[in-house]
Amino acid sequence: MFSRRHPYLFSILVFSALTAVVVITISIVTSMVLKGGGEVEFSGQKVGVVLIEGTIVDSREVIRQLKILRESDAVKAIVVRINSPGGAVGPSQEIYREVMRTRESKAVVASMGSVAASGGYYIAAAADKVLANPGTITGSIGVIMGFTNFRQLMEKIGLTPVIIKSGQYKDMGSPTREMTPEERDLLQGVIDQIHQQFIKAVSSGRNMQKDKVAALADGRIFTGQQALELGLVDSMGNFEDAVQLAGNMGGIKGKIETVSASRSHFSIIDYIIGSAMKAFSSRMNYQSVKLELR
C-alpha cells in the first residue's frame, strides 16, 4: 500500500537500504582480508619487513608495524622498503624517529626501490645501512611550500572576498590577495628552519659532517649510483640484498625468512566518513598550507 501511494519515496528507501547493505558488506570483507594477511610468526629467526609506499601523509601505520617487529623476539633485524617521492613533514619526522629508536635494539636496513626522495630519503637516512639500485631516484633534500593565487581571476568575474580575522597573519597565504613582504619573510623562516632540521637528521643518521650534507641539500635529485659516491647510501643492492644484509647483521644463520606485521583493522565506512570530513574541512578553511618534503 505504501509503495503505491508514495512510489518515489519507496524507491528512495529501497535504494538507500541496498546501498547500506553493499557498503557494510564491502567493509566487512575488506576488514577480513586486510586483517587476515601478513601475520607475524613469533617463532624461529626472521627479518621483519615494513613497506613505505606512495606519498607520506600519515605515520601511524608504519610506526605501529615497526613497534610490533621491534618487540618480537623472533625478529632479529628489520628492512624498511621505501618507494616514496616524499610527503608531509611531520609524518616523515615521526617515522625517522621511530627508525632511530628501533636501531637501539635491532639492525635496520633501508631498501630503496624506484624512488626514495625527500621525505623518503629522510626516513632512509635513519637506518643503519641504506641500499639503493643504480637507477633509484633519491636525494631531493629540501622543503617546499606552495600557494595558488586567484586574485586576478576573482577581479575579472566580479567576486570580492570579505575576510574577518583575529590577527595580522591569520589569512597568510590567502589565494585572494597578494602576499606581503613581511609574510614572505615569515614563511621563508619556517622553511629554512625545517630545512635545517632535515640536514641535521641526515647528518645524524648517516654520521656525515653537517657541512657536507648542507652542500647537497639544495633540492637536487641523485641516482642511486651518485648517492653512493656522495655517501648518502652505503651500497648498491635490491630488496633481496637488503634482506640478506639485515639477516647477517641480525646474526641469522642459514636461510633467511621474512615476516611482516599484520595491517591494522580497516573500515571502508571510517574511510568514507574520514574523507568527507577532510573535504568539508578543506572547504571551510581556504588557508590550508601545503608544506612538504619533496
Instruction: Give the contacts of 64 (CB within 8 A, at least 6 positions apart).
Output: 261, 264
118 in active site: yes
Task: Count other C-beta atoms under 10 Å from residue 21's C-beta.
Answer: 10
The rounded distance, in Å, linking the Cα atoms of 231 and 31 is 43
- Assigned C-alpha cell, 214: 648542507
Residues in CB range of 266: below 8 A, 6 or more apart: 30, 31, 34, 35
Q: Which of 3, 11, 165, 170 is catalytic?
A: 170
Catalytic residue among 59, 72, 111, 118: 118
Cα 58 from Cα 64, distance rounded (Å): 12
**Has 170 been annotated as catalytic?**
yes
Distances (CA, A) of 137 to 88, 264, 283: 19, 30, 35
- Give one word for 169, left, alpha or beta, with left for phi > 0 and alpha for psi -120 to 50: alpha
144-146 β-sheet, strand order: 87-88, 290-293, 144-146
Taken as a whole, the chain contains a residue count of 294
Catalytic residue list? 118, 170
